[in-house]
Amino acid sequence: VEPSLAASVTPDGLDAAQRAGRGEMAPEDLRATLHAAVDVVADYLAGLDELPVLPRVAPGELTVMLDGPPPIQPEPMAAILEDARRLVVPNVTHWQHPGFLAYFASSGSAAGIAGEILMAGLISNAMLWRTSPVATELEAITVRWLREGLGLPDDYDGLYTDTASTSTLVALGAAREATAAGASRVGLAQGRRLRIYASEEAHSSIDKAAMTLGIGREGVRRVGTDEVLAMRPDALRAAISEDRSAGWLPAGVVATVGTTSSTAIDPVAEIADICAREDLWLHVDAAYAGVVALVPARRAAFRGWERADSIVVNPHKWLFTPLDCSLLLTRRMPVLRDAFSLVPEYLRTTGGAGSGRDYNEYIPQLGRRARAIKMWLILRYFGLPGLASRIEEHIAMAQELGSRIDAEPDAERLAPSPFSTVCFRWRPAALASRAGEPAVAVLLDELNERLLARLNESGEVFLSHTRLRGLFTIRVSVGNLRTERRHLERLWDLVREHGRDLSTGIT
């Protein structure tokens, strides 16, 4: 990088605005700076394959390199960006690396990155129609496009939030309002103890929403699961009836399609029947797996979700959208509004512009990023079939890995893989018949913990783990646009190499 970026930059590398200590960068310097920043990003993404997925740093090491007194003298942008290349770029965990197979992917496409750049440049706060007419109207349009793509009925409306945690908070806020009318005004006094039901495998964001909404963690009742880790409807029915007898006020059920640990699928249709009978809000958490419904042939997994009051699907997980964007669909927008609308005088729109929708009325926050702009780019760039075919490809790759595990006498799957996530462990064949013995179970947990550490130390892959029925479980989740078959083949070679090495001598 040259020490100067553009025309008005002086021999000391500062631009005219910096030297004057006033105002914003001149247009030609702005353009050069943005081009230079884009080059950092494009070089980074082009060279990802060569980086270790996890940066090789220990906690605190970066502070030693980056810390110092607060900047006093302005510094040349070229020098700052050079430091970014040297110190920042290599030291993020590389979520976009093809070997990043941990958690659930958050895969940012070029179209999504371009969308983020537009959003950053326009800096348009989409809190009111008046404060961003185009972001507001594009939000309604792109939410509809997604809703149609997912095959959901046209009475679903919705909006974007930052994360699934917020979408679920909003949905459960509406459930609270629907059950204890006026709760947003008078709170949950008068002994109104609300209960939300979710499976033992459901995400912790439900408990956090309950904590935030005054329902409390005790207000979330975890319902037992069956042999495939899906919610048991009979256990749900029993829990609701027991709670009603004990004076609780059941408010809603969260059914998950694609649980975080194993991607289990709750029986949404049966749960919807129970919710209809009991008059409970049904929220479907499909934060990860929801995008699979873009593939019409795969909609069976979602049977019954079209009866939900609300549904969350995260584009920022597996729809090639850079963090952040979560889609909250609901057929009960007015209830969200009852739960969250508060319009002080200074937010009233005057001047006869008419009444476009003001999205802030449906959520806790006022300021909102104009996420619709990036969704508009992504949806137009890929097209719905283009998105669906990439998702299909990821599912196929994960299924192939699953078949390799099934064919390997020294490994076993620990849960079904209905989508693109595979849960397994290394289990030497010699131990197969004794795996239930407590001492053997501990040995296998330790072996797999060490296997995971070795795989992640390789720098070629990054996997995460969970526990399924108490067993240490390695998870591989495919959802990254840059992951190809050869990466999963390499992963499997590494698993076998280290698995065999770690089990030497086990008989």
Ligand X SMILES: Cc1ncc(COP(=O)(O)O)c(C=O)c1O
Binding residues (CB under 6 A) for ligand X: these are: 104, 163-165, 203, 205, 256, 258-260, 285, 287-288, 314, 326
Nearer to ligand X, 255 or 444 (CB): 255
Helix (H) or strand (E) holding 424: strand 421-426
Which H or E run includes 179?
Answer: helix 164-179
Q: Is 70 exposed, middle or buried (0-12, 13-18, 19+ CB in 10 A)?
A: exposed
Q: Smallest Cα–Cα separation from 196: which of 185, 187, 212?
A: 212
Least separation, in Å, of the C-beta of 14 and ligand X? 40
Q: Which is nearer to ligand X, 309 or 358 (CB)?
A: 309
Residue 457 beta carbon to ligand X: minimum distance, rounded to whole angstroms: 24
Contact 197, 254 (CB under 8 A): yes
Pairing of strands 157-161, 220-223: unpaired
Q: How far is CA 247 from CA 51, 194, 254, 350, 493, in A?
A: 57, 9, 21, 47, 56
- Rounded to a whole number of angstroms, the minimum distance from the CB of residue 362 to ligand X is 18
Say if CB 200 and CB 222 are below 8 A apart.
yes
Task: State which residue, 250 or 479, has the beta carbon closest to ligand X.
Answer: 479
From CA 388, how far away is CA 336, in angstroms rounded?
30
Please, what is the minimum distance in Å from the beta carbon of residue 258 to ligand X?
Answer: 6
> Which residue lies nearer to ligand X by CB, 178 or 289?
289
CB of 90 to ligand X, least distance (A): 25
Q: Which residue number, 52 or 258, has a Cβ lying nearer to ligand X? A: 258
Is residue 251 within 8 A of residue 281, CB to CB? The reply is yes
| Shortest distance, position 261 Cβ to ligand X, whole Å | 9
CA 462/CA 65 separation, integer angstroms: 25
Q: Which is nearer to ligand X, 205 or 330 (CB)?
A: 205
Q: Which is nearer to ligand X, 52 or 158 (CB)?
A: 158
Q: How far is the CB of 232 from ligand X (least distance, A)?
A: 18
Inter-residue contact 348 to 319 (CB < 8 Å) = no
Buried b (16+ CB within 10 A) or exposed e, 206-225: bbebbeebebeeebbbbbeb
Query: Strand pairing of 471-477 and 421-426?
Result: antiparallel
